[in-house]
Amino acid sequence: MPAADAPSPEPHADEPLPTFPGAHRPDRTRTVDVGGLRLAVHEWGDEGARPLLLAHGGFDFAGTFDVFAPLLADEGWRVVSWDQRGHGDSQHAPLYSWDADVRDALDVLDTVTHDPVPVIGHSKGGGLMLQLAESAPHRVSHLVNLDGLPSRRRHPDVADRERTRLLAGELTAWLDHRRSAAAAERKPGTLDELARRRARMNPRLPIEWLRYLVPIGARRDPDGWRWKIDPALRFGGFGPWRPEWSLLRMPGLGVPMLGVLGLEPEDMGWGTTPDDVVPFLPPGARFVPMEGTGHFVHIERPHEVAELVLELLS
């Protein structure tokens, strides 16, 4: 690896792209039209095998399942995932919302089967799948939530006036971002620079993995690589949603559930502890807290997580 500040040479077009042990690109990729928007759908495994739906987290893309999904495909599953609107190879949307993402998921599922299927979601994808399971229980046979379990936690206690200032800062920043979003572009860089930038959000993941992700989640422009994600999307923000509303979807789940929680706190995680979750698990649910594991449980421990999933589905 070059020193942090030294630009690394770009690989030539015919130079081999980074590889990662156990990673396989999807067997099939296609597009699905959702209300006039084009989503990229990626599948691993035999087309005639039993299907399941796999949802990625915010600021990720289906390619982040390149190690995890093949482990399920190898055991006889047709693993269907998609790049959420604005992410990966899907179209950048004029508008984004939680409900639109859930609707997109169902539109993707419609192109696979109308029978109930297992749904698996990481982080935000786990929250989306919880809402899908409540709004369309006839389409869901099992639910797996990978470090996407909501918590009740909100801002630490602060005085009303301070809370007002906190919100004011977030609002101003968000509106200022909206004013510049039309012209915004992701910053270009070398493949290594993009991998190192991602490492700031994914500090526990091997840099080789992050390098592997760059040619999948980024495109090569004449001035360098750029992550494909819509620059209009940004972290943080505000809104009327309360975490406990997601939490309260769990006790009513009528299908077998597996929840996996990484216990190492991370910026990208939700800060949820087992005590937040356990009281809200539906009857018979399996809950697995993982010591020494961060938010990306299926990337840090793909074999163990795949085994837990396969046990639930067997």
Partner 1 sequence: MTAPPAGPEVGTRNPVVRLRHNKVELALHELRAGEGRPLLLLHGLGERAPREVPAAVAGWPGPVHALDFTGHGESTVPAGGGYTCEVLMGDVDAAIAHLGPVTVLGRGLGAYVALLIAGARPEHVRGAILCDGPGLAGGGPDPGSPTVVRLDRTVPTPPDPFALLELARDVRPPDYATSFARQATHLSGLTTPISVCALGRPAWLEAVVGEPGVETADLEQALGLHASN
Question: Rule CB under 8 A: which residues touch partner 1?
Answer: 34-37, 85, 92-97, 99-100, 102-104, 106-107, 131-132, 134-136, 160-161, 163-164, 167-168, 171-172, 174-175, 178-179, 181-182, 232, 238-242, 245
- The distance of closest approach from Cβ of residue 214 to partner 1 in the complex, given in angstroms and rounded to an integer, is 26
Looking at the Cβ atoms of 73 and 109, the one nearer to partner 1 is: 109
Q: Which is nearer to partner 1, 102 or 214 (CB)?
A: 102
Q: Which is nearer to partner 1, 129 or 299 (CB)?
A: 129
At which residue do the structure tokens 């992550």 appear? 227
Which is nearer to partner 1, 239 or 279 (by Cβ)?
239
Contact 300, 263 (CB under 8 A): no
Q: Around Cβ 253, how many Cβ atoms within 10 Å? A: 22
Q: How far is the CB of 255 from partner 1 (least distance, A)?
A: 16
- Smallest gap, in angstroms, from Cβ of residue 51 to partner 1? 18
Q: Tell me whether residue 85 or residue 124 sits nearer to partner 1 (CB atom).
A: 85
In the complex with partner 1, the residue whose CB is nearer, 8 or 135, is 135
In the complex, the smallest distance separating the C-beta of residue 113 from partner 1, rounded to whole angstroms, is 16
Question: Do residues 192 and 156 make contact, with C-beta atoms less than 8 angstroms apart?
Answer: no
Give the Cα separation of 233 and 96 in Å (integer).
9
Minimum gap (Å) between residue 27 Cβ and partner 1: 27
Q: Is 233 within 8 Å of 59 (Cβ atoms)?
A: yes
Q: 21 or 236, CB closer to partner 1?
A: 236
Question: Is residue 99 within 8 Å of 106, Cβ to Cβ?
Answer: no
Distance CA 14, CA 215 (A): 13
Cα 139 to Cα 117: distance, rounded to the nearest angstrom: 6
Q: Quick one: DSSP state of residue 292?
A: T
Minimum distance between the CB of residue 80 and partner 1, rounded to whole angstroms?
17
On whether the CB atoms of residues 100 and 71 are closer than 8 A, the answer is no
**Using CA atoms in the order 202, 122, 33, 210, what is the torsion angle rounded to 10 degrees?**
20
Cα distances from 92 to residues 28, 32, 40, 228, 274, in angstroms, run 22, 14, 11, 9, 36
Least distance to partner 1, CB of residue 143, Å: 15
Closest separation between CB of residue 31 and partner 1, Å? 13
Residue pair 259/147 in contact by the 8 Å Cβ criterion? no
Which CB sits closer to partner 1, 4 or 175? 175
Smallest separation (angstroms) from partner 1 to the CB of 3? 38
3-state class of 157 per DSSP? coil
Pairing mode, strands 28-34 and 37-44: antiparallel
Task: Give dist(CA 175, CA 159) in Å, integer.
Answer: 24
Residue 25 or 165: which CB sits closer to partner 1? Answer: 165
